Structure 1
Amino acid sequence: MGYRKFSDIVGEISPERRARIDAIKVEARADAVAFNLGELRRHRELTQVELAQRLERTQASISAMEAAGDNLLSTCRAVVESMGGHLEVVAVFDDERIVIPSPA
């Protein structure tokens, strides 16, 4: 018994189906990872001291921010941007996901 390619088993995938599969993968990735700010910092391999330096704050303020349960969006944006990313806010409904642009 030999090995067969996946494409030989399922056949050609239509562009419409490929687009749907890709959309599902993007949504799954977005839903698969949920970090609080402390977990995000650790995931990005930063210490509280390093993040504090990037944000021009004290280590104690970073500790307090990570312990807080309800940070402002501006705080979350600053943290994410200091790590080289950008923050997206998405409204999720049963039938759609809508990105809410954040003020620059």
Structure 2
Amino acid sequence: MAKKFSALVESTMSHEAIDRAKQRTQVLRDEMPLNELRQARGLSQKALAAVLHVEQPAIAKMERRTDMYISTLRSHIEAMGGALEIVAKFPEGSVKIKSFGATELA
């Protein structure tokens, strides 16, 4: 009979190793490229392109870019159902930047 993966992990991994794996998983969830974020949201490039009123190749190109306008990134994130926040981090603490106005989706 097959064993559950969780039971297998608990029987073969130490609690410290399980904790390290959970921490690493959280880091990977907290930081991901746009294409992985889109996929995690269950969206295809074609579906996102339809929301943004562009062609699918434009989404592929946008996801490969290393530099883009904040308004472009904001539109992309909002089309996935999210909200973009810009935060500056300093040793003394973080500051949310409010200089960038939100865009309206058509």
Q: Which TM-score band (shorter chain)?
A: 0.5 to 0.7
Matched, 1:103 2:95: no
Give the unaligned 5+ runs of structure 1: 1-28
Check if 1:76 corresponds to 2:73. Answer: yes
Flag the structure with more relative contact order, 1 or 2, with Cα contacts below 8 A and sequence separation at least 6.
2
Q: How does 1:52-67 map to 2 (within 5 A)?
A: 52-67=49-64
Pairwise CA RMSD: 2.0
Q: Which TM-score applies when normalising by structure 1?
A: 0.66
Deviation at 1:68, TM superposition (A): 0.8
Identity of aligned residues (%): 38
Runs of 4+ aligned structure 1 residues displaced above 4 Å come to 29-32
Instruction: Tell me the residue number matched to 1:42.
Output: 39
Change (3 A) 1:95 1:32: farther
Partners in 2 of 1:85 and 1:65 — Cα distance?
A: 17
State the alpha-carbon separation in 2 of the partners of residues 91 and 33 from structure 1.
17
TM-score with structure 2 length normalisation? Answer: 0.65
Cα displacement (A) at 1:99 = 0.3
Query: Who wins on radius of gyration, i.e. which is larger?
Result: 1
Contact 1:37/1:76 (<8 A) preserved = no
Structure 2 gaps of 5+ residues are 1-25
